[in-house]
Chain A
Amino acid sequence: MKKISTPYLLLLPGFAFLFTFFILPIMNLAQTSTQTRIENGDTGQYEQTLRFANYFDAFIENREQFTRSFVYALIATLLALLISYPLAYALAFKAGKFKNILLVLVIAPFFTSFLLRTVAWKQILGEEGFVVPSLRTIGIISESTTLTSTSFAVIMGMTYNFLPFMTLPLYASIDRIDPRTLEASGDLYANGFTTFRRVTLPLSMPGVVAGTLLTFIPAAGDYVNAQILGSPNTKMIGNVIESRYFRVVDYPTAAALSFTLMAAILILVTLYIRKAGTEELV
């Protein structure tokens, strides 16, 4: 018998896992997405009719939620980037002996459940929390304005929940920058802002790309934040898929929406990586 080389054997467990828990379900999902309801059948009984129009119908019906998902995810990603960049920079260059403690604090939220933390945000932004009364006192929001059940609350929740996914890759990337290249930039007549624009930012681009992807992709498919912090007017595509699947028991539409979401994200990510040109970076 021909000898199978070790690297392939080492790949086997990983491949078996992915096959069982990713490829098989995806094939099953694809198969479901073109089914139609059995006439006079019970709720949840579908048959394969290869009805590709399911995709079209599902998309037209939920255009608004699709758009909202991507807009919310984009805003949350940008906010997370703006918050994380200075944080990651400080962690890498200024934290000194507190670096490890601060890194633990960045990932500390993961010690409690995602759901619980989102519920906590509902309380923070609620009428009884300190945020709303404070903002009312200083007159930023009017007496009648509330923060919960708004797109603001949903976006804030997403920004918060995905922040570590932005901070950690940014930190890893900025930490790898040789501080002497920044000194060299100053030595070569670049002031602080020019040094950031010409040296620090380009050298941290791998982290920016990784962080924005790790934030944007789960944010675009998220439904927990919109469900807990939002209202029917802030429904995202994740909420639609969830309700189609679990409440309406409309498996084909849920499957078609899932595939459409995946394809949309894939296209956006491909365009983004092409544009950001990470392969040119070290």
Chain B
Amino acid sequence: MADSANSARGDLKLTRITKSYGDFTAVDDLSLTIPEGSFFALLGPSGCGKTTTLRMIAGLEEPTVGSIHLGSTDITTTKPYQRPINTVFQNYALFPHLTIFENIAFGLRRRGLKDIDEAVNKVLNLVELPHLAQRKPTQLSGGQQQRIALARAIVNRPALLLLDEPLGALDLKLRRQMQIELKWIQKEVGLTFVHVTHDQEEAMTMADTIAVMNEGKIEQMGSPADLYDNPETAFVANFLGQSNLIKGSLVGTDGDSLVADLFGQKISLPRNRSHAVDSSIFAGIRPEKFRISLLQTPTSGNILSGGKIEDVSYIGVSTQYQVMMPWGQELMVFEQNDDGVAPFQIGDPVNISWEPVFTFALRGDEDAEAGTEVMPEDLDEE
């Protein structure tokens, strides 16, 4: 079975992929290149088309339109068993009738490889479970099954490893631990990982590059820091962490900065962080970038004055404030509890300030709520 598709290596390239089920378009004219050796995440809410995209890469679905290339080989219609691609399935899909050893050896045996014992034992050591080789999958805990599913895939040294919400069934603590391990294993084995998740924190912890998907399209693609600091759409701004989006308009320029008017107060922002198409904008600031000060305290940078503390929640490392602004919008502010200063009280009149460099601007005609109504934590599996 050592045909050309099976030995293909290189970047994965999706070209203008569309997948429709009747009237429903799951993936809509999507193009994407995943560089060889990277840890790539497809991030989005349930139903955004990320799993469908993954299944098309695996060969479990065929695109309605478009092509998929691995290196220079067209694999659009290649059968799953002929692709050098392996998947870690959402609920692991281990073979319940086979031992852990035979589960891991499955792919190697199908390809008629030699030295199966050695390869299996090596990967069992990598996932630190060599003592479970003769057990059956049902005798393992969720975390152990997860590692075996990973071992069963990477033992084949595929050109591409697909992970479909691999940590979704684990509890929070184990999930954090596995995130770090997965990242380490990816570096260790040097394979290309494509990871599908609805958990933005998971994507940001592990991936080099994240593509944020929404309604079958890619909203934005970039490094975690890029996406967080410089989101291009309201959906990205809200889906990755939290954002304060304030309606305003661009009124001028000042060197490399733009000047914006937010309800009569002037602020400045870097030109390269503006994604507005005309003067109407939403100015975006992350809650932890804000500083709160009492009215008489002098501050620098961008300042919005006339706020009033509406609500205070002390959560240990930080305190979260809701600040009511004169134009009737509540802004969210996270202050680190690192300065020994007593928190502000409800009803305190305050100014809020921040460094201009932390401001981004979105198109003024966007839905400021996009991406907020689908909080990742509320999502069920599929």
Contact = CB atoms under 8 A, between A and B. Distances in A.
Contact of A178 (B86, B93, B111): B93
B359 interface: no
B120 interface: no
A203 B136 CA distance: 13
B96 A187 contact: no
B58 interface: yes
Nearest to B97: A202
A188 interface: yes
B80 A183 contact: yes
B239 interface: no
Given A194-B110, A203-B97, A187 B1 contact: no
Interface in A176-203: 178, 180-181, 183-191, 194, 198-199, 202-203
Nearest to B104: A188
Given A181-B93, A203-B96, A282-B138, A187 B86 contact: yes
A282 B1 CA distance: 32
B354 interface: no
B168 interface: no
B159 to A, nearest CB: 13
A60 interface: no
A180 B86 CA distance: 13
B106 A178 contact: no
B344 interface: no
A185 B110 CA distance: 10
Nearest to A199: B95
A185 B106 contact: yes
A1 interface: no
B97 A187 contact: no
A108 interface: no
Interface string B79-103: 1110001110111011111000000
Contact of B110 (A180, A189, A202, A281): A189
Contacts of A280: 97
SS class of chain A's interface: helix, strand, loop or mixed? helix
B95 A187 contact: no
A contact residues, range = 20 to 34
Interface in A9-64: none
Nearest to A186: B80
Contacts of B91: 178, 180
Among B79, B96, B138, B152, which residue has the most Cβ atoms of chain A within 10 A? B96
Contact of B81 (A186, A199, A202, A282): A186
- Majority secondary structure, B binding face: loop
B116 to A, nearest CB: 13
B134 to A, nearest CB: 13
Interface residues of B, number: 26
Given A190-B106, A191-B79, A183 B93 contact: yes
A169 B60 CA distance: 29
Nearest to B152: A188
B137 to A, nearest CB: 9
A64 to B, nearest CB: 41
A184 B89 contact: yes
Contact of A186 (B79, B90, B95, B97): B79
B86 A282 contact: no
A281 B97 CA distance: 6
A186 to B, nearest CB: 4
Contacts of A187: 58-60, 80-81, 85-87
B93 A282 contact: no
A198 B111 CA distance: 14
A190 B110 contact: yes
B160 to A, nearest CB: 11
Closest 9 CB pairs of A and B: A188-B107, A180-B93, A189-B110, A184-B93, A186-B80, A282-B96, A202-B97, A187-B87, A189-B81
Interface of A: 178, 180-181, 183-191, 194, 198-199, 202-203, 280-282
Interface of B: 1, 58-60, 79-81, 85-87, 89-91, 93-97, 106-107, 110-111, 136, 138, 152, 156
Given A181-B95, A187-B59, 18 more contacts: A180-B89, A181-B96, A183-B60, A184-B95, A185-B95, A186-B60, A186-B79, A186-B80, A186-B81, A187-B58, A187-B80, A187-B87, A189-B110, A190-B110, A198-B106, A199-B97, A281-B97, A282-B138
